[in-house]
Amino acid sequence: MAGIVPSGGGGSGRFRRRRWAPISEINVTPLVDVMLVLLIIFMITAPLMQVGVPVDLPKTSAQQVGGKDEPLVVSVNAKDEVFLGETKYEVAELGAKLKAVHEEKPDQRVFIRGDKAINYGRMMEVMGVVIDSGFRQLGLLGEQSQPATPAAPAPAARPGQRR
């Protein structure tokens, strides 16, 4: 906060003159507090802002594939609507858009999410459009299934006892 404090002038007396000089220091503590609160808010909300097209993915036991960059995500929902990210496209429009993206980033990864209720032929049609657009790093997404817990072993039979 800026303020004014009396400066200079020694001596005492009734007729002493005071000169006021501004303080040019800024108190940054409130600014830092606000920035930390915003940082925490963005850290919490950023993971929630993923692809928002509701798709009921099939279960799989395959491990996750890691990568450095954020992949493009093509989704096909239960109504056979095709999305790139969260934007709805017709299949022909999707091909043109993907070709434009491929020209900028030829090594971009593309993931395809398909609802388990859609026709297999529809998924192959969308995959064909992605491949025809020039992308070669293509992956299918599925929901990670819960590992099956092994059943408890049955107690061993004692000699002479039937099972």
Q: Which neighbouring-strand residues pair with 143?
A: 59
Tell me what pLDDT residue 153 has.
Answer: 52
| DSSP 8-class letter at 50 | S
Of the candidates 31, 25, 73, 27, the residue with the CA atom closest to the CA atom of residue 53 = 73
142 contacts 57 by C-beta, under 8 angstroms: yes
What backbone torsions phi and psi does residue 144 show, to the nearest 5 degrees?
Answer: -70, 125
Tokens of 61: 């036991």
Tell me what pLDDT residue 20 has.
Answer: 78
| DSSP 8-class letter at 15 | T
The answer to whether position 4 is within a domain reads no
Q: How remote is the C-alpha of 96 from its chain's centroid?
A: 25
Summarised one tens digit per residue, pLDDT across range 55-100 is 666 676 656 555 566 778 898 888 888 998 888 999 888 888 999 8
Instruction: Give the pTM.
Output: 0.50
Residues of the domain holding 79: 59-144
The answer to whether residue 136 scores a pLDDT higher than 80 is yes
| Bridge pairing between strands 59-60 and 72-76 | unpaired
Of the candidates 39, 55, 47, 35, the residue with the CA atom closest to the CA atom of residue 111 = 55
- Domain total of the chain: 1
The answer to whether position 14 is within a domain reads no
Tell me what pLDDT residue 35 has.
Answer: 95
CATH of the domain at 64: 3.30.420.270
Summarised one tens digit per residue, pLDDT across range 21-56 is 777 788 889 999 999 999 999 888 877 766 566 666
The answer to whether position 11 is within a domain reads no
Of the candidates 125, 64, 131, 54, the residue with the CA atom closest to the CA atom of residue 88 = 54
